[in-house]
Structure 1
Amino acid sequence: MATNKRRSKNPLEVHGALWLSAGGASLAGHGRIELLRAVAEHGSITQAAKAFGMSYKAAWDAIDTMNQRANQPVVERSIGGKGGGATKITDFGQRLIARYEQVHAVHQRFLGLIEQGAMDLDQEFSLLKVLNMKTSARNQWLGTVTAVRAGAVNDDIEVALPGGQCLAATVTRASTESLALRPQMAVIVLIKSSAVMLAVDLTGAVSRHATASKAAWRR
């Protein structure tokens, strides 16, 4: 009982930090991106540093490092002039902030999926289950390839489902090679709803389909 309580109170968790690099050198992480946001808001490295709770030197060193390592400057400073100079985020810097936030959101979702689907050590790990694919195809099954039969143009692929059912698919040879399909490989089978056909009398349906095809061909 004590072991079960310990498991429920202290589940395994996944944590990770996202960093951008340029030329193999660290460019920016969450902290530096937030610093850039502060500079954009206050228009001053001094004010941004105060709002961020760090010294001016540390803030300037971080920004200077980003300017040196990025393909383009992320912050520009103008000295003197009527307003006494200004600091602003460049267009490149603004795009960098926006893109980091987009990637960060995906990164956090991925960490959440891992934590939900892979941290139960009593269950077998499956990357496909973790990814939790979202597509427009509502009919999708996780299975295992049991056979790959090569044809002259297309290949026949058989997939076994967890419940014991078997699915058969015909794919091009190029698809077999690009997906590296092979027996014992875990796959997700996607079927468009428009591709599903239901028949009560399969023999009769096939016969009627063949007759209709011949009639259409004659016309």
Structure 2
Amino acid sequence: MATRQHPPSQATGLPRALADASADKRLDVLRHVAAGCSISQAARQVGISYKAAWQALDTLSNLSGEPLVERIVGGVGGGGARITAEGLRLLALAAELARARQQVLARFAGGAIGDGGLGLRTSMRNQLRCRVLRCAPLAPGDPMVAVTLATPGGVELVSSITQESADLLGLAPGLAVLVLCKATAVTVALAGAGAAAGRLWGRIERLSPGAGQDEVVLALDGGGHWVGFAPHPFHGGVGDAAVASVLPAALVIGLAG
């Protein structure tokens, strides 16, 4: 099967495949395939499931817009994959970026560089460093897992993600992660107004009235800020205690820098 060749000056979509926070394990799968491993062997080496290994390769290919592997039909185990020229180019680009990153970190040794996902740009205004407490399936054999997280203020939050995503991120108790959430997915209420326990508690720092909803910025207990919305008119004021509620499906987990 022929693969497309790009001259060095022609831009490709390969850099997009390296912009995702969970790219490292995906690249590990691709590296093992490049070394001649089968998909099942690559999955065992990386410590993920066979299904997650294929998802990793499919995601990298989708992000890059290039076929990074060729599927091989038949053979032991029912087939596998062989890396393409574009896959090798992606690995070379990843290695070059890793070297460049180390050079930059060496120049700025002792500074606060790399502390907070500096390479990540997102529309999600809520970003909070947390620590993984537990990661378990919602039910035996369920493809979804509940990830229990501890905030800097000691509050427990729960995020629901797929098992494959948890495997690719390498989620385990004690791991530092970045929890992200769209402000529009957060509901803010005054403390004691019926909000459930275990949410994010803090004091109102800023208010921005809107036509149907008011934007509320909370200074969280334990540090950090969280943005959400309350039905207009919101009767809280700056300095009042309030609580932010968010559904587990709205919490996104990323690897902290």
The structure with higher relative contact order (CA 8 Å, sep 6+) is 2
Write 1 or 2 for the structure with the bigger share of strand: 2
- The alignment's TM-score, normalised by the length of structure 1, stands at 0.39
- The alignment's TM-score, normalised by the length of structure 2, stands at 0.34
Q: Larger C-alpha radius of gyration, 1 or 2? A: 1
Write 1 or 2 for the structure with the bigger share of helix: 1
